[in-house]
Amino acid sequence: MSYQLGMDLGTTYSAAAVAESDSAEIFQLGTSMAPIPSVVLLRDDGTVLTGEAAQRRSLFESGRTAREFKRRFGDPTPYLLGGTPYGVEALTGHLMASIVDRVATERGEQPGVVVLAHPAAYGPYKLGFLEDAARLAGVGVVRFVPEPVAAAVYYSHTERVAQGEVIAVYDFGGGTLDLAVLRKTPDGFEVVGTPEGMERFGGVDLDEAVFGHVDEALGGIVGRSDPDDATTVAAVTSLRNSCREAKEALSADTDVTIPVMLPNLHTEVRLTRGEFEDMIRPRLRETMSALDRTVRSAGVSYADLSRVLLVGGASRIPLVAEMVRDTTGRPVAVDAHPKHAIALGAALIPEAAGTPPAPVVPPEPSEQIGDPPTGSTAAIVGAASEIATSIDPESTIDPEDDQPAPSLEEEKAEGVAIAAESEELDEFEDDGDGDEMPNDPVADEAAGPRSWSRYAVFGVVAALVVAIGGFLWLQGGNDQPGEATPVPTADSAPVADPDAIVASAGRVAAVYLVGYRSMEHDDGWGEWSIGDNHEPDDIASDYLPALGPYSSVDPGVRNEHFEMFSRASIGILSIV
């Protein structure tokens, strides 16, 4: 009899569950517990290991090991395993394939459908990576469901949730935090409002806090240990495991003793629950703020929530439930199996509820901007280039000397079509200052003031973007934002295939300046000042963006920006 396989590929551990008819059970993937470590290792003979086998060998082959790669989902920069590049989607595909093979071997047949849970905050770009991972895994029919929805489905199989009830899900896992508001419908659960998440905050960060406490108590001896000594590496790895176990033990005990067995030091360090809570309370306050934004985005108040469902291993920390309860004033429900709930719920998802992302048509290569990425990012970049090429190259005046500013082609050379799948973000064209290097702050200053012309171009482009955005909105009739509706493009430069633009998230247009540089990333400041202002103390603004004084060529910043574009339903992006 065909079965449905639900999978939760977590940052630190991955779990699977099988369902037949209306019941589901967790599948024993590991030897001592159901989940397996989310670890992939490439042996020197080319064999790929996953799970417990990879974890065991990783102690002595760290250079061939990838772990916690879910945190980098959407980052095109590959991991190097023994010098061999592996993208996050390839690593995820290997892990996924090994789980399906393990289940199919024991059950004697392949699953009828695989339902893969993902963070609710994933936009089209990251879902595209996840779809690629499933394709590389070759596991047959795969459907996708937001993790909070899967958790709520399993919870509703054990506790009654009335139709129309609104609940919040606080999913605090090993590597990430996922927040969403859900409404119970006749068909299951629907996401209300805008989910939020913290992709770099989870249980492993709390483990690191405990590890730091131990190192500080020992005068920093652990941090000074030899990373090339095999015995020391094994001892430090064992200490990290002890710190994780101590964190988990503090959910029930008021204090723990952490054994330290270094080559030249055998001792123990005591940690109380109060000390641990003091370490993590500031970050947990940030999660409460994120929960508040999530609830407000749904158009409801805390009083409208019937309960808050806590999911994920880190949610079992008593302080988490206490702060959620105090913040919301609502009942808090802790799932009996917080580490298994998402996999079990995914296995129980009705076929109609778990659907793959809409297909994405890749655009044709562009001579103006190189090969644009696929999907909605390609539509944004392609449309932006079309807007830029339609401006009169002599239409801007430099206010410093009333002389014609550099041509648009010269200005465009300073920009870059930042694409989330491109690995060539640092390969800019000559920026016109004679140094043949991208936006060098010293050479730019010597070449004379040119930033005003950039902002003149910005004004012209912004006006065009507003005009085109209004045109697209009027053309859209009564279509709702977010529907896959073709977006018209300029006739002057058909950079992107118009069919690809159907993947655009909405009809919002925006201007994106990409010349910013930072001392931390580029060893120099760029574009943060105007006129008599000088970086970094006197920038041309009375506030900084949420990401701080960033660099536009920082891959992490780029990914954050494109996630913001997706969440804001930006369908056209003009790059200046």
Query: Are the beta carbons of 87 and 530 closer than 8 angstroms?
Result: no
Based on the number of CB atoms within 10 Å of its own CB, is 550 exposed (0-12), middle (13-18) or buried (19 or more)? buried
Task: Specify the pLDDT at position 279.
Answer: 96
**Residue pLDDT, tens place only, 77-135:** 999 999 999 999 999 999 999 999 999 999 999 999 999 999 998 889 899 989 999 99
CATH of the domain at 110: 3.30.420.40
- 344 plus 433 within the same structural domain: no
Q: Does the residue 331 lie in any domain?
A: no
- 52 plus 123 within the same structural domain: yes
Q: Does the residue 250 lie in any domain?
A: no
Based on the number of CB atoms within 10 Å of its own CB, is 31 exposed (0-12), middle (13-18) or buried (19 or more)? exposed
Q: Does the residue 379 lie in any domain?
A: yes
Q: Does the residue 479 lie in any domain?
A: yes
- 446 plus 344 within the same structural domain: no
Alpha-carbon dihedral angle through residues 530, 535, 540, 542, given to the nearest 10 degrees: -170
**Residue pLDDT, tens place only, 196-235:** 988 889 999 999 999 999 999 999 999 998 888 888 988 9
- 344 plus 407 within the same structural domain: no
What is the pLDDT of the chain when averaged over all its residues? 76
- 382 plus 475 within the same structural domain: yes
Q: Does the residue 113 lie in any domain?
A: yes
Query: Are the beta carbons of 247 and 210 closer than 8 angstroms?
Result: yes
| Single residue among 329, 348, 367 that ends a domain in this structure | 348
- 344 plus 473 within the same structural domain: no
Share of the chain above pLDDT 70, in %: 67
Q: Does the residue 242 lie in any domain?
A: no
- 120 plus 37 within the same structural domain: yes
Domain of 394, in residue numbers? 375-575
CA 236 to chain centre: 29
Q: How confident is the model over 435-443, as a mean pLDDT? A: 41
| Single residue among 298, 332, 348 that ends a domain in this structure | 348
- 54 plus 135 within the same structural domain: yes
Which residue in the block uniquely carries the two structure tokens 């690593």? 91
- 416 plus 472 within the same structural domain: yes
| Single residue among 289, 313, 348 that ends a domain in this structure | 348
Q: Does the residue 133 lie in any domain?
A: yes
- 427 plus 488 within the same structural domain: yes
Q: Does the residue 308 lie in any domain?
A: no
Indicate the number of domains in the chain.
2
- 344 plus 390 within the same structural domain: no
- 120 plus 80 within the same structural domain: yes
**Residue pLDDT, tens place only, 452-494:** 444 444 555 555 555 555 554 444 444 333 333 333 333 333 3
* Predicted confidence (pLDDT) at residue 328 exceeds the cutoff of 50: yes
Please report, as a single letter, which amino acid is at residue 263.
Answer: P
**Residue pLDDT, tens place only, 339-392:** 899 999 999 998 645 555 444 333 333 333 233 333 344 344 443 333 333 333
